[in-house]
Amino acid sequence: MNGLTMMDAGEASYQIGDEAFSGCTGLTGAVVIPDSVTSIGSRAFYGCAGISALTMPAHIRIDGNTTAGYYNYNAFEGCTGITEVHLTGSGEMAIYGDGYAPWRRTEMSVSVTIGEGITGISDYAFKNSVNLVSVSIPESVKTIGANAFSGCTGLAEVVYASSLEKWEAISVGPGNEPLARAELFLDGAGPLRGTLGESGELCWTFLPSEGTVTITGPVSAENPVFVAVYGRNGQLTAVTMITCSGETAAVGTGFGSVKLMWVDESLLPKCAYSEIT
């Protein structure tokens, strides 16, 4: 099953029960949980390693199970493939139990986007999320709780959707040193990311402020990536070949689109191209 979008119950609310999707190894791609869901039961998505993106309400309660044999097997235990989390709703984020949040269960580099309308990031919200590399924070956030980003050793960037003046006005609790060390992008002009390959083996990052695309992963001289830049009139204007991981191509910012193609030694496409517009 490729992806899952649950029905919004409107003003009503409901819960996802214990072990609701436990062991659904065929559940892959994006899972969207609407704001009408108030809690997710123990082991609800246990072992769903194919989930790559998750949208869920910031207020949701995530349960664990402390009965014999199931200690700390929480709702997202075994969801090791998540790379993106989008938090929706309004008000304060929920306070999660130790390790219960999905960004703590993944074994992949994960980016979290906090939706406009959320006003506070709770105490310990992302504590010890070592795979968290990027967080996007909306203008509506006014408080960041104590130790919310404590132990986030991999946090490289923070994208804030407003000005430096408003960023500095946010009340930030103690224990958030990783947040201060990360690179700050203002006005929401943070990097764009995507993948190439049947299984997303290659990752690309576009920095709008610099007009560059960086490729990481198993790219080589035998299996290069071509970065083709097209003008707004659709005409090809430049092509750059990338042959090693971490290499960057200059594409500018006034383009119509940029197409990324990974090819084999015969210059035949290894997968569908990825596009930046």
Q: What is the CATH number of the domain that holds 203?
A: 2.60.40.3080
Q: How many domains does the chain have?
A: 2
Residues 113 and 206 in one domain: no
244 CA to centre of own chain: 24
Of the three residues 185, 219, 236, the one that is the final residue of a domain is 185
Residues 155 and 200 in one domain: no
106 CA to centre of own chain: 11
Residues 29 and 145 in one domain: yes
Burial of residue 143 (number of CB atoms within 10 Å: 0-12, 13-18, 19+): middle
pLDDT averaged over the chain? Answer: 85
Side chain identity at residue 148, one-letter code = A
Report the percentage of the chain scoring pLDDT > 90. 38
The stretch 26-44 carries a mean pLDDT of: 86
pLDDT of res. 213: 92
Q: Residue 156 in contact with residue 131, Cβ under 8 Å?
A: no
The DSSP output letter for 269 is B
pLDDT of res. 70: 39
DSSP β-ladder status, 257-262 and 225-230: antiparallel
Of the three residues 162, 185, 208, the one that is the final residue of a domain is 185
Residues 117 and 6 in one domain: yes
Residues 7 and 123 in one domain: yes
Instruction: Spell out the residues 6+ positions from residue 173 whose beta carbon is closer than 8 angstroms to its own.
Output: 123, 143, 144, 145, 146, 147, 148
Task: Calculate ∠ Cα 178-195-274, nearest 5°.
Answer: 135
Side chain identity at residue 253, one-letter code = T
Residues 169 and 217 in one domain: no
Residues 197 and 263 in one domain: yes
Residue 35 has pLDDT above 90, yes or no: no
What CA–CA distance (Å, rounded) separates 40 from 34? 12
Residue 189 has pLDDT above 80, yes or no: no
Tokens standing for residue 136: 């996007």
Residues 157 and 24 in one domain: yes
Kindly write down the DSSP assignment for every residue of 247-270, as one continuous string.
Answer: -EEE--SS-SEEEEEEB-TTS-BS
Kindly write down the DSSP assignment for every residue of 175-234, as one continuous string.
Answer: S-HHHHHSEEE-TT---EEEEESTT--EEEEEETTTTEEEEESS--SSS-EEEEEE-TTS
Q: Residue 209 in contact with residue 185, Cβ under 8 Å?
A: yes
Task: For 68-87, write each residue's pLDDT tens digit.
Answer: 343 345 788 888 899 889 99
Residue 169 belongs to what domain range?
2-185
What CA–CA distance (Å, rounded) separates 78 from 99? 12
Question: Of 28-32, 123-127, 251-255, which has the strongest mean pLDDT?
Answer: 123-127
Residues 129 and 45 in one domain: yes
Residues 158 and 227 in one domain: no
Of the three residues 185, 210, 237, the one that is the final residue of a domain is 185
Residues 123 and 206 in one domain: no
What CA–CA distance (Å, rounded) separates 10 from 137? 26
Residue 172 has pLDDT above 90, yes or no: yes
Question: Of 23-37, 167-181, 227-241, which has the strongest mean pLDDT?
Answer: 167-181
Residues 238 and 175 in one domain: no
